[in-house]
Amino acid sequence: MIEYINKGVYTSECQAQGEQVQDRGYTNDWWTKLQAPDGRWGWVTNIYIKGAAQIAGVPTCGATPAPPVTPTPPQPKSVSVLVFKEAETFPCIHPHINSRVAGCNSNGKVQPNNFQAYCQQQGSFYFEGGWTTRKNDWWTLIQNGGSQVWVSNLDIKGAAIIEGVPQGPDACRANAPAGYPDGAYHP
């Protein structure tokens, strides 16, 4: 049994209707039989294949048994957020107070854009414009290219706590990719 397949272009044999799957805002009961790079064949819900509910050009299977009951493993859940100005990114959520400790120095900046956000947690206060102006102790884990980084919620459109983004360490463990920067301060 193939449990996971990476993004890419694969050879398909045919497609058939089977278990109905809901993910990423779509519902579909069509599955396509694909060949993995190691030569094995397996079923993938058409939700994860570019195209319509039934993929054009892929024949319908004849007497092929229905696809397996277990769909591909769930992908990390994320929502889109708008970083509305240039923002510093950090490998943890305690950069201001502990910036010289535990690798929490800024590790770059992101330009204003929409980013996929996995979760948000409280951490050290981040100050904008000095100690007497805006401050917030909520941080959001975003996908920046090939890595996940923390951005202060001061730089994301919304309130101090961003609506729709799951909150807390448990939400991060449940929604973020494996090996995400957990946000903890590790001296």
In order of 26, 63, 72, 134, 153, the CA distances from 31 in angstroms are 14, 14, 11, 51, 40
The whole-model pTM stands at 0.55
Chain segment 36-50, per-residue pLDDT in tens: 877 888 888 888 888
Helix (H, G, I), strand (E, B) or coil at 154: helix
Q: Are 109 and 144 in contact (CB under 8 A)?
A: no
Chain segment 3-35, per-residue pLDDT in tens: 667 777 888 889 999 888 887 778 889 999 988
Please report where in the chains the tokens 């970083």 appear, as a residue. Answer: 83
Establish how many alpha carbons lie within 13 A of residue 107's alpha carbon, considering only the half-sphere containing its beta carbon. Answer: 15
Please report where in the chains the tokens 């706590």 appear, as a residue. Answer: 161
Where are the domains positioned within the chain?
A: 7-72, 79-175
Give the residue ranges of DSSP H helices in 1-145. none
Chain segment 56-104, per-residue pLDDT in tens: 888 988 754 555 555 555 566 788 899 998 998 888 775 555 444 455 6
- Which carries the bigger pLDDT value, residue 109 or residue 9? 109
As a whole number of Å, the CA-based R_g of the chain is 21
Chain segment 138-162, per-residue pLDDT in tens: 999 999 888 888 899 999 999 889 9
pLDDT of residue 114: 94
Closest CA to 53 of 18, 78, 80, 77: 18
Helix (H, G, I), strand (E, B) or coil at 72: coil
